């Protein structure tokens, strides 16, 4: 992204709704999008057609993509930088600028590549349960790894019908339940 042309809003944010980390991130951004500068598109939805938008589904699944109103695509870390410029508040603009610094950008790109490469090992969401919030352990993930990953992401893990279910926990008040 660096010294790229000025980003034109609105932005279309393409994300994998089956990725629990991606979904939580978008869940965080949606209420901040009061100005309507961001349009979130779940690329894992059955109705999504990448080809109809001139995009490649396999490429979309490898990294988050953001497209501006001029049709320019931003991928991975640069997609986050563009997205953050569309959010209100100094915090997100500063984050975007910070990730643009050469050393920081390089580290962020390397970290994102590792995450993107291995995110398929994270437990997947199950759309049929708990309004699309619950996830089930995929067969390739061992029980202990599933519990560690799910709990680390803020999910509550339960035993159900011989398998495991993880659902987002309700946020707890720092003052306790009153």
**Quick one: average pLDDT of 44-73?**
96
Q: Looking at the whole model, is its pTM more than 0.85?
A: no
How far is 160 from 157, CA to CA, in rounded Å? 10
pLDDT at 120: 78
Report the candidate in 119, 102, 155 with the shortest Cα–Cα distance to residue 15.
Answer: 119
Please list the residues that pair with 12 across neighbouring strands: 39, 67
How far is 86 from 80, CA to CA, in rounded Å? 10
Q: Which of 136 and 88 is assigned the larger pLDDT?
A: 88
Report residue 26 as tokens.
């978008």
Which residues are CB-contacts of 75 (< 8 A; sequence separation ≥ 6)? 63, 64, 65, 66
Per-residue pLDDT at 178 exceeds 60: no
How far is 52 from 99, CA to CA, in rounded Å? 32
Q: Strand 11-15 and strand 38-42: pairing?
A: parallel
Q: Quick one: pLDDT band at residue 127, thresholds 50, 70, 90?
A: very low
Per-residue pLDDT at 38 exceeds 50: yes
């Amino acid at each position: 992204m660096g010294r790229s042309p000025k980003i034109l809003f609105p932005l279309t944010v393409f994300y994998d709704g089956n990725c629990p980390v991606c979904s939580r991130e978008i869940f965080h951004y949606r209420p901040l999008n009061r100005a309507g500068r961001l349009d979130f598109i779940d690329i894992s939805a059955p109705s999504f057609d990448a080809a109809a938008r001139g995009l490649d589904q396999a490429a979309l699944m490898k990294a988050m993509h953001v497209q501006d109103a001029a049709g320019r695509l931003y991928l991975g870390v640069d997609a986050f930088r563009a997205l953050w410029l569309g959010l209100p508040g100094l915090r997100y603009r500063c984050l975007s600028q910070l990730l643009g610094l050469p050393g920081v950008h390089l580290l962020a790109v390397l970290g994102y590549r590792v995450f993107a490469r291995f995110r398929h090992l994270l437990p997947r969401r199950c759309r049929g349960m708990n309004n699309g919030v619950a996830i089930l352990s995929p067969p390739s993930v061992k029980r202990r790894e599933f519990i560690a990953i799910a709990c680390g992401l803020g999910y509550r893990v339960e035993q159900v019908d011989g398998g495991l279910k993880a659902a987002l926990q309700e946020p707890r008040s720092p003052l306790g339940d009153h």
